[in-house]
Amino acid sequence: MTSLTCFKAYDIRGRLGVDLDEGIARRIGAGFAVALGAQRVVLGRDVRASSESLAAAVAEGLTSQGVAVLDLGLSGTEEMYFATSHLGADGGICVTASHNPIDYNGMKMVKAGSAPLDPATDLARVRELAEANTFDAALQPGKIVPSEGVRSAYVDCVLSFIDVDALRPLKLLVNAGNGAAGPTFDALLAELRSRGAALEVVRMHHEPDGRFPNGIPNPLLEENQPVTATAVRSNGADIGIAWDGDFDRCFLFDGAGRFIPGEYVVGLLAEAFLAREPGAKIVHDPRIVWNTQEIVTRLGGQPVQSRTGHAFVKQVMRETGAVYGGEMSAHHYFRDFMACDSGMIPWLLVLDLMSRRGAKLADLVDARRAAFPSSGEINFRVADMPASIARVETALAPKSVARDDTDGLSLSFDRWRFNLRGSNTEPLLRLNVETRGDATLLAEKIGDLRTLLDADD
């Protein structure tokens, strides 16, 4: 039995030719079919050069077990989520490495109803079967069926989250990063304009290109943000929108080209949903919480905390019936989108909010940024992760007024708070710090924590 190193905590990801190739992809496809007892499976892929051949191999594995493959072709992960429920399929797979390096690829998977695979049962079973590789061929092989009309239905679903008639004329700068977002954005824009929306759009890096001539699309990285920020300013846009490779995350820039950190977008979207559904539950992750909690509580909603990570947030969304959930990493989840994340719904909701208030994006977030300054996620590569966390705990826990261990170590004090957690995917400690209206205190506490954590070096 061969151990497959491409299986990670929640999905599949690895270096091409090392952790993942067509043979492994074929085994994963067959394992997915058997583990879920699937008869119909949606299959999509991103724009990477390796994704077409890997998706073909997954399809071979699926059809070898009698599965009908509902092929989306080039698409975003969220289109796979949508199609799985829309078509009543038994599961869905998107071949994508999102924002990972060029020599990586992977897969994101869901089961019926677009529910995430349980890591301990579903994903573990797929791995067990793929590693054993002892599949019997089905008596009747499955077929690959092109999925007609899915994108049109997806567009209708996404646009149902806003009042198109309420949109005022706005100028958008959009950066698809040569990923999969371009064609889907164009389909949304065409429908918006057909319904009378007066949106002016400037496109950059719009054509899908698996060579990524302008770099891997990951706008969360600070070094990747200036190209979009500069274009926003030079084109006089009202808002900038950038996506990662499979566009399940979008990133926003105001009219001055300033990047809007994800935690403030969570607050904005929470406000938008509570205006429609008073008293609703809003899910947030434990890294940066005060801004979101204050908004939700003040507007009569119920804040609900989840562990970081899509599998955990989606589970909490489904368990609580929350209308919306957001992570500061720019993953945004919607009850009426199968409790799944979308990179297209958030910017539409922000346009809707800007239009209803007659406000600039900066007007919507500047006061919140001043009221609750935050550090953004700071990563530390340490020699001994448990020892580093213990050192911080020993130094600061006795002085804290509240402690939370939902995900890593969170300690709160009168005027500041931090969360420190180990990465689920890399050998890194991730630190987030926030204060109540005090940027000077924020810088001071970041320095104190940096000193504690850098003691390993």
Report the chain's C-alpha Rg in angstroms: 22
Exposed / middle / buried, residue 37 (Cβ in 10 Å: 0-12, 13-18, 19+): exposed
Helical packing angle, 150-159 and 345-357, nearest 10°:
30
The CA-based angle 318-128-137, given to 5 degrees, is 105
Judge residue 119's burial from the number of C-beta atoms within 10 Å of its C-beta, 0-12 exposed, 13-18 middle, 19 or more buried: middle
Q: Nearest 5°: phi and psi at 319?
A: -70, -35
Max CA distance (Å), the chain: 69
Q: How is residue 364 written in tokens?
A: 């919507």
Residue tagged active-site, from 51, 64, 98, 410? 98
Number of DSSP helices (H) and strands (E) in the chain, helices first: 14, 20
Residue with structure tokens 């420190």?
A: 420
Collapse the DSSP code of 177 into the 3-class scheme (helix H, G, I; strand E, B; otherwise coil) and give the result: coil
Q: Which amino acid is at 33?
A: A
Distance CA 132, CA 57 (A): 17
Measured CA to CA, the distance from residue 182 to residue 344 in angstroms comes to: 11
98: annotated active-site residue: yes
Residue with tokens 């719904």: 345
Q: Which two tokens stand for residue 385?
A: 């992760």
Residue ranges of E strands in 176-249: 199-204, 239-243
Q: How far apart are CA 266 and CA 264, in angstroms?
A: 5
Strand partners, 44: 73, 94
Residue 378: count other Cβ atoms within 10 Å of its Cβ.
16
Please check whether residue 304 is in contact with residue 386, taking contact to mean a CB–CB distance below 8 angstroms.
Answer: no
Name the residue type at position 131.
E
Directed axis angle between helix 290-298 and helix 262-276, to 10°? 10
Strand partners, 341: 333
Q: Which structure tokens are listed for 345?
A: 């719904």
Which residues are the active-site residues?
Answer: 98
